[in-house]
A = this chain, B = another copy of it.
Amino acid sequence: MVWCSGWKLASAVSNSGGLGLLGAGSMHPDLLEEHILKTMAATSKPFGVNVPLMYKETEKIMKIIALHKVPIVFTSAGSPDKWTGWLKEKGIVVAHVVSSSIFATKCEAAGVDAVVAEGFEAGGHNGKEETTTMALIPAVRKITTLPLLAAGGIGSGETMLAAMTLGSDGVQIGSRFAISEESSAHSNFKKLITKIGEGETKLTLKRLAPTRIVKNSFFEQINEAEQIGKSARELLKLVGKGRSKTGIFDGDLEKGALGIGQISSSINEILSVEMIIKKVILEYNIAKENLQKEERFSF
């Protein structure tokens, strides 16, 4: 959710009955502080900050989060050992994002309050093992009694119900909110995402950090370099810096890295957060009712 999830999106989600998250992955500490304050002004409901742990400024970010008493933190892209205790001492609820049940076990040991299990179909950074939501959620459910949120492939009420059926207690929706009206992504990006079809995103950069992006010119460049066996160092040079900003925030659809999930192929409209949540819950309840009513579900 880098370059998508600022105060507008986070507060809209919280105001509409969800748990809004600020994406710290695309914010320097001072900008994050501004967004925290604006979110607090825009909603009286709980909200959280997602903190990818691989960035250098994590310590500064955590201090700002604690200073402003943000109630909930989702950590990702790193070990849950390092920050969970520190955050919990300050009364902050901690969820950690994992891509395997082994990492989920580590979350339990680290004392997190909830686990987000994210499948291969999710956008942006992704696990090396490539386990899909369908295979991952039951596996994580089996090894933990912690509250479990499913992520990856969830953009509708039917996919939400499927995820719940697999054993989750809730879902984390990315792609659908990334192109909501309140997302800070560029309108070029939002429009593109409403048009892309199946197979138009791919997990790439597997030698660096696996990332699902749209198959644009930037992707093709990377893909070609990988095919001919370029080293991680050469790939890193080719990627350069700020590619997500270039694509998602500045709207350069060819030079940018356009992180988005597979389920984007089913999203073809830009709606307000309130409307998205209403639609998803309505679809969820209809699908749940149909399960009981329709003969085809009886075995």
Contact = CB atoms under 8 A, between A and B. Distances in A.
Given A158-B165, A169-B296, A229-B227, A198 B266 contact: no
Interface string A253-266: 00000000111011
Given A121-B131, A288-B292, 16 more contacts: A100-B198, A101-B198, A120-B132, A129-B198, A130-B199, A130-B202, A132-B262, A134-B134, A134-B152, A134-B262, A138-B159, A139-B265, A158-B167, A161-B165, A288-B291, A292-B292
Secondary structure at the A interface, as helix, strand, loop or mixed, is: helix
A156 interface: yes
Interface residues of A, number: 55
Contacts of A60: none
Nearest to A261: B135
Q: How often does this chain occur in the complex, in copies?
A: 2
A121 to B, nearest CB: 4
A112 interface: no
A31 interface: no
Contact of A131 (B142, B198, B288): B198
Contacts of A169: 296
A27 interface: no
B297 A164 contact: yes
Interface string A5-23: 0000000000000000000
A48 interface: no
A266 B135 contact: yes
